[in-house]
Structure 1
């Protein structure tokens, strides 16, 4: 029997520490080895207890969670899950934390801490996946591609990602040229964070990055991030079509779902390129298979460059992935697949 995942909870709220402890301790495969009210105590506990995973509050007195995360990733890189309030400030800091190497994030309720227990199964799965993840120290800086190159086809690029995907998308989207084909992205993320994520990506990219809005027409040089929470994102109307957001039930536990996006883009046949990046679970595998069977070019991130080799593995084992590539090779490979 494998050893339980050892977790250190760092949060200045005693009630939140108690709730997280109760949620995580309900799983026999997880052991909460310590609870710290602030980063200075947490630093000593990390040295003494050697946890597998740290849950870290974004906002704490003395030293904020982001500053503490930077120290962890510099001095003792390890899997960290950020806990953030559903505020604009919380979203901004969380996006930066994920960019710096935090594995994932959970949204803390603004009122009753017990509300977080509704997602107990997801939190426990997240912690166990984090313990198996490959820690990264910030996004890989990829050389920007000068242009899409000659012979560009009229195509649409669809990308799906989950755990570790924020880092990966900063790398891939940041390398794309201003004239690239339209890109549709589903990144599993709390609803309050996707707008801030799109804004941050937009500031650091040569393409325009926006949070998708229903009815928005797609165009070259623009990346559309699916809004979190209430809707699935689909493409309708072909390569000159528009965004459709549908408030239907979650698919595979996700809304928005990568599978839903990929199935909609599969209607384009050979005029589509599908990409599946790092992430926990299997969302996107069936949709990418539908794209490949329809004639689209498909690719997946390889194991060595993934934070969590879950979604790409599921797609590869299903036969949906035409080529497996490192994150470094991904931007040029995507653009090459768009050429005649």
Structure 2
């Protein structure tokens, strides 16, 4: 696994590199004392992850560096002493992974590898990196029969589709496997949502099963947020929670309710429609269980009721007639 390190402190840079040399699973592909050199190296041959000292990450130019990381799907972590890391929380937030440079070699390597595995970066890079701005967000809720419905719908989305968030009711621990299954059948990249993951074109985020709710967070950029809390509408994660979190940008949303038992998603879909979102419900004929779509339709939340095969083309067709 290729990593790069950026730190203006030359002595510490050398010390950190030495610590990683002992682990055959990691290879230091470059050490840099400034952001410009690091930027060009990452652009030329993207590593799996870049370790950045707080002193460099606090520079205005690092915003451009982060855009490159996002475009190339490169992970990054802060690395420095404990005092630097505590101070950096104020401006990077608590969601950015951090490494104490004073840790022993084995512990440092373990944390880097754990970060890559937990975020999926250590997996294959079958999908090409996606970039570009987006002006549309897709939201999908499903339950019983939803796996087959999602396979059908998502396989028709283009590789650079608008960012997509999904809540599919599954048993505890099944969402990671489902994400891999969907990913293998899609042109776009499908993965389990992580707290703080940035929304990008060509990326589909699936809510982790059973542990938290998936919400949209629009502070400091659009991102996924995983929030602990009791079940809502009988479920955790809940479709209602995801839908309602997107109400502030409803006019930029297309929200879809697919086959499923119960009524999770009906209230949230209604809130989105009332705020200006485009809302679509799967019809009874193609639903394995016409529960969630029916509840949403009867609540007045569904703007268009369509057979499954017609939903993806409708999602990709904005109201002005231009394909996204």
Could you say which TM-score interval applies, normalised by the shorter chain?
0.5 to 0.7
Partners of 1:167 and 1:337 in 2: CA distance:
25
Question: What are structure 1's unaligned runs of at least 5 residues?
Answer: 1-151
Query: For 1:13-38, what per-residue CA distance to the aligned partner results, in whole angstroms no more than 9, with x for missing partners?
Result: xxxxxxxxxxxxxxxxxxxxxxxxxx
Partners of 1:328 and 1:225 in 2: CA distance:
21
1:269 is aligned to 2:250: yes
Contact 1:153 1:338 in 2 (8 A): no
Secondary structure at the aligned position of 2:195 is classed as coil
Give 1:238 shift: 7.1
Give the match for residue 10 of structure 2: none
Give the match for residue 208 of structure 1: 189
Give the match for residue 218 of structure 1: 199
Q: How many residues were matched structurally?
A: 189
Give the match for residue 30 of structure 1: none
1:196 is aligned to 2:177: yes
Give the match for residue 103 of structure 1: none
Compare CA radii of gyration and give the structure with the larger one: 2
Contact 1:155 1:239 in 2 (8 A): no
Contact 1:159 1:185 in 2 (8 A): yes
Partners of 2:285 and 2:219 in 1: CA distance:
35
Partners of 1:163 and 1:336 in 2: CA distance:
27
Q: Where in structure 2 are the equivalents of 1:148-187 lying within 5 Å?
A: 154-187=135-168
Query: For 1:284-337, what per-residue CA distance to the aligned partner results, in whole angstroms no more than 9, with x for missing partners?
Result: 000000000110000000000000000000000000000000001011001113
Partners of 2:271 and 2:299 in 1: CA distance:
11
Secondary structure at the aligned position of 1:157 is classed as strand
Q: CA RMSD in A?
A: 1.6
Contact 2:138 2:165 in 1 (8 A): yes
Contact 1:239 1:268 in 2 (8 A): no
Give 1:269 shift: 2.1
Question: What are structure 2's unaligned runs of at least 5 residues?
Answer: 1-132
Query: For 1:238-274, what per-residue CA distance to the aligned partner results, in whole angstroms no more than 9, with x for missing partners?
Result: 7940111011110021000000000011211211111
Contact 2:134 2:200 in 1 (8 A): no
Secondary structure at the aligned position of 2:308 is classed as coil
Contact 2:215 2:225 in 1 (8 A): yes
Give 1:338 shift: 7.2
Q: Where in structure 2 are the equivalents of 1:296-311 lying within 5 Å?
A: 296-311=277-292
Contact 1:154 1:239 in 2 (8 A): no
Runs of 4+ that moved beyond 3 A: 337-340
Give the match for residue 288 of structure 1: 269
TM-score (norm 1): 0.54
TM-score (norm 2): 0.57
Contact 1:155 1:338 in 2 (8 A): no
